Each structure stands twice: as structure tokens, then as C-alpha cells.
Chains A and B, each alone.
Chain A
Amino acid sequence: MANKETDNDLSALDHEKQSNIIRKTLVTKLIAFIQLYAIYIIIFGELGPGGGFQGGVILGSSIIIYILIFGLEDGRKRISQKTSDLFSSTGALIYAGVGLLAIFFGGHFLQYGAFPLGGSDVANHYGIMAVEIGIGITVAATMIILFCEMIGRD
């Protein structure tokens, strides 16, 4: 009788480890594609649907799925608390920084056309791309912060 019980326990643990291996392998292979897709949506946001917010949310989701499968401690080794806090404010600073840079070049606040990059629409194009990247960074970091604080201690 004792042998049968330990056999059942061992097979249950084995089953758990096997299904965990499936989940872990799947996630490690998928995360690269999810992040590539998120960067594609941020950068191509001006030629088709997309933009900073959408890409930032998807970028945050890629780290959230890593934390869901591997646990909070393992996730913290990849993205530490200080890193996500820092990145959350960096994006907003990039946005305001581009606006102030426009004042240095002689225009109004956030007038991207004043950059001396050759023509008003080319300068606007580069200004919009820089601003979208900044928005994407802030939104991604904030989504990670929201999730990690909400689940608390594991």
C-alpha cells in the first residue's frame, strides 16, 4: 500500500514538471516574436494603424507573460524594480525633452517643424517618431509596475 501511494505522488510531480516544461519552452520561444511585433507597431504607427500606446502595451505584456510563467523572483532578475521605475519616467522626460529642444531651435514648445533637419515635414516626421518611442517606453514600464505591485508577495 505504501508503495502505491509514493508511486502516485511521483507520477503527479512528474506530470507537473512536464507540463511546466511545455509552458516554459513555449514562453521562451514566443517572447522574442512578441517584442519584435511590439517594436514594429511602435515604429510603423505612422504608416498604418498603431502608435506608441498600442506598442507599449504589447511590450509590457511580453514581460508580464514571462512573470506569469516563471514567477516573480525570476522576473525580478530580468527587470529589477529600479529599472522599471527608471524607465517609467524616462519616456515622459523624452517627450518633454523633445518639446524643450524645439524651443532651443527657435520655435514654440513642441513645434517639431523648427528642427533644422531639412524641411518642415521631415523635421515633423522625426519629431513624431521620437515622441512615439518615448510614449512606448513609459507605457511598457508602467504596465509592468502595475502588474508587479498588484500581485504583491508571491
Chain B
Amino acid sequence: MMEFILAKYNYWIYVIIMMIGFYAVISKSNLIKKIIGLSIFQTSVFLLFISIGKVDGGTVPIYQGTEAVYINPLPHVLILTAIVVGVSVTAVAFALVVNIYREFGTIEENAILEMIKHDD
């Protein structure tokens, strides 16, 4: 039982962080809070990917002689791309939020939906 928990506890913690971010996206009505939740969700997915590649007793994937055991460098490459794409998406989301605030005067989702309904 103890070995089972020790082998899998990291995945469960990542799922908990993912669910915190997911709850923020679907239940908060402030748009900036939704973007914060999205950012937390993204980082938990990165944690999942990189912890798959860890090898017990392996070192950092920089060349240190032919006899060394390295950890898997392929997830690092994918997550490097993903982090920078994540910040690009966040920046475009901010530009949209600024435009919404300029148009409606508020960034609470309930108030915006009511204003749209009243306009129709």
C-alpha cells in the first residue's frame, strides 16, 4: 500500500492543482480571475508532463560523459514551447479584457451578460 502511494502521489497532487484552476475558470465571474485560473491549470499540466520523464538516479540532460544516466529530455522541449505559448495566449486574453472594459465599463461576467440582454 505504501509503495503504491509513493509511486503515484505526485499525479494526485497535480490533479488537485488542476482542479483548483478549473474551479476558478468555471465558477468565478471576474474575467481576470478566470485568466488566473487558466494560468494555474496550465502549470499543472506542465508538472504532469515533466514528472513522467523523470528517471530514478538520472542527472540533468547535459553531456557529462558517456557512462551517465540521463533523465528524459523530450518532455522538457515540449514544455518549453508550451510555457511561451501560454504567456502569448495570456497576453492576447488581456488585450481582449481591456477592450471589453472599454466597451462595457465592467469586467464581471454577470453584469456584462445582463447588459447584452438589455441591448437586444
Contacts and interface: CB of A to CB of B under 8 A. Distances in A.
A53 B83 CA distance: 10
A139 interface: yes
A150 B95 contact: yes
Nearest to A146: B91
Contacts of B95: 149-150
Interface in B42-70: 60, 62
Interface residues of A, number: 10
B84 interface: yes
A53 B84 contact: yes
Nearest to B81: A53
Interface in A124-154: 139, 146, 149-150, 152
Contacts of B111: none
Contacts of A139: 84
Among B60, B84, B95, B98, the most chain A Cβ lie within 10 Å of the Cβ of B84
Nearest to B60: A49
A49 B62 CA distance: 8
Contacts of B60: 49
Interface residues of B, number: 8
Among A48, A49, A146, A152, the most chain B Cβ lie within 10 Å of the Cβ of A146
Contacts of B115: none
B62 A48 contact: yes
Interface in B68-117: 80, 84, 91, 94-95, 98
B98 A150 contact: yes
Interface in A1-58: 47-49, 51, 53
B80 A150 contact: no
A88 B62 CA distance: 30
Contacts of B98: 150, 152
Nearest to A53: B84
B62 A150 contact: no
A40 to B, nearest CB: 16
Interface of A: 47-49, 51, 53, 139, 146, 149-150, 152
Given A53-B84, A149-B95, 13 more contacts: A47-B62, A48-B62, A49-B60, A49-B62, A51-B80, A53-B80, A139-B84, A146-B91, A150-B91, A150-B94, A150-B95, A150-B98, A152-B98
Give the 4 A-B residue pairs with the shortest CB-CB distance, closest first: A146-B91, A53-B84, A48-B62, A150-B94
